[in-house]
């Protein structure tokens, strides 16, 4: 652990050549089968009666033609609107979703809140889930026993550590998941909106923890809507829209582009609303 937790991370310039990529993605595509994922409703069933049943309409490409290489020591921010495919990308990197097409190669130990936070066994205690997570990640029990006190201390959930996880609030589960995921010093750390977890004190501590990991030259992929923190933690960023990477650059450039696109889309929506409001209705002719 570094002496000065508040020190800034030494960030290599964007595009610097570092060998042996931690992540290598080639022409990745993830396709969802809508017949398996959509909810069955009366409205949906009636709509199905009028919908043509060809295969194209029963599938949705959440990601398509995604190419990306992340080197050891790099931290990547993934930004974009809701439904752009950001979380699907993390699920694929974590191995939870298998590519429909293309290939993903990860080199090193991968840790993610996607499997640790959401994947707790709710009938077991927090302490038991720490052991379970260690087994899932292939960490020897002796090493996990050594890590456990620090994990419990960082999660700071008090006596609940020996209570069933089903009694936890969502914030408590997120805190314990974050503590486990970041205690094992993975080669690749996948984070999804984790910087907004918990109260201000825990957010500050989690930011320090991520700085420590980044300082140890671990590769990090961070999905976030909190644009203020992107430049603090990442030295690269990509903008994802409709399942595709539309821009890749340094974080400040990507943030500026994303904000410009949000503002432009908002302006178009306002113009559409104004046009709709001025369209004469049938009753106005009487």
Q: Examine residue 176 and state whether it is found in any structural domain, yes or no.
A: yes
Give the CATH number for residue 233: 3.40.50.300
pTM of the model: 0.71
Give the pLDDT of residue 49. Answer: 47
161 shares a domain with 131: yes
Q: Is 80 left (phi over 0), alpha (psi -120 to 50) or beta?
A: left
Q: Examine residue 44 and state whether it is found in any structural domain, yes or no.
A: no
Give the pLDDT of residue 64. Answer: 96
Q: Examine residue 153 and state whether it is found in any structural domain, yes or no.
A: yes
Q: Transcribe 260-280 into DSSP letters.
A: HHHHHHHHHHHHHHHHHHHSP
Question: What's the CA gap between 75 and 250, in Å, rounded?
Answer: 11
Question: What's the CA gap between 212 and 114, in Å, rounded?
Answer: 21
178 shares a domain with 123: yes
Domain membership of residue 103 as a residue range? 19-38+57-85+96-108+190-197+221-272
80 shares a domain with 29: yes
Question: What's the CA gap between 3 and 135, in Å, rounded?
Answer: 31
Q: Which residues of the chain have pLDDT under 70?
A: 1-19, 36-57, 113-118, 193-198, 214, 217, 279-286
122 shares a domain with 258: no
169 shares a domain with 33: no
226 shares a domain with 102: yes
Q: Examine residue 156 and state whether it is found in any structural domain, yes or no.
A: yes
149 shares a domain with 120: yes
Q: Examine residue 81 and state whether it is found in any structural domain, yes or no.
A: yes
166 shares a domain with 241: no
pLDDT tens for 53-71 read 444 568 889 999 999 999 9
259 shares a domain with 235: yes
Q: Examine residue 209 and state whether it is found in any structural domain, yes or no.
A: no
Q: Examine residue 277 and state whether it is found in any structural domain, yes or no.
A: no
Q: Examine residue 11 and state whether it is found in any structural domain, yes or no.
A: no
pLDDT tens for 19-32 read 578 999 999 999 99
Domain boundary among 165, 186, 207: 186
174 shares a domain with 119: yes
What's the number of domains the chain is made of? 2
258 shares a domain with 121: no
115 shares a domain with 180: yes
């Amino acid at each position: 652990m570094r002496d000065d937790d508040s020190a800034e991370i030494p960030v290599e310039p964007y595009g610097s050549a570092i060998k042996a990529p931690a992540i290598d993605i080639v022409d990745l595509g993830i396709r969802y089968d809508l017949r398996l994922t959509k909810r069955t409703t009366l409205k949906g069933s009636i709509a199905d009666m009028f919908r043509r049943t060809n295969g194209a309409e029963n599938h949705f490409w959440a990601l398509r033609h995604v190419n990306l290489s992340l080197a050891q020591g790099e931290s990547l921010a993934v930004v974009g609107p809701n439904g752009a495919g950001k979380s699907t990308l993390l699920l694929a990197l974590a191995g939870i979703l298998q590519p429909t097409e293309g290939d993903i190669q990860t080199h090193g130990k991968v840790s993610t809140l996607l499997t640790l936070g959401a994947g707790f066994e709710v009938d077991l205690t927090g302490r038991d889930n720490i052991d379970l997570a260690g087994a899932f990640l292939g960490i020897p029990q002796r090493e996990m026993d050594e890590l456990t006190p620090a994990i419990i201390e960082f999660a700071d959930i008090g006596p609940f550590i020996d209570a069933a996880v089903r009694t936890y609030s969502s914030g408590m589960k997120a805190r314990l998941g974050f503590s486990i995921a970041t205690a094992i010093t993975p080669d690749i750390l996948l984070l999804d909106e984790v910087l907004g977890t918990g109260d201000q004190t825990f957010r500050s501590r989690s930011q320090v923890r991520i700085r420590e990991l980044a300082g140890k030259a671990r590769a990090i992929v961070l999905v976030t809507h909190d644009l203020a923190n992107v430049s603090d933690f990442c030295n690269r960023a990509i903008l994802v829209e409709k399942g595709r990477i539309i821009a890749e650059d340094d974080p400040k450039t990507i943030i500026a582009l994303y904000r410009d696109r949000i503002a432009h889309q908002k302006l178009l929506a306002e113009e559409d609303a104004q046009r709709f409001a001025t369209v004469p209705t049938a009753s106005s002719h009487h």
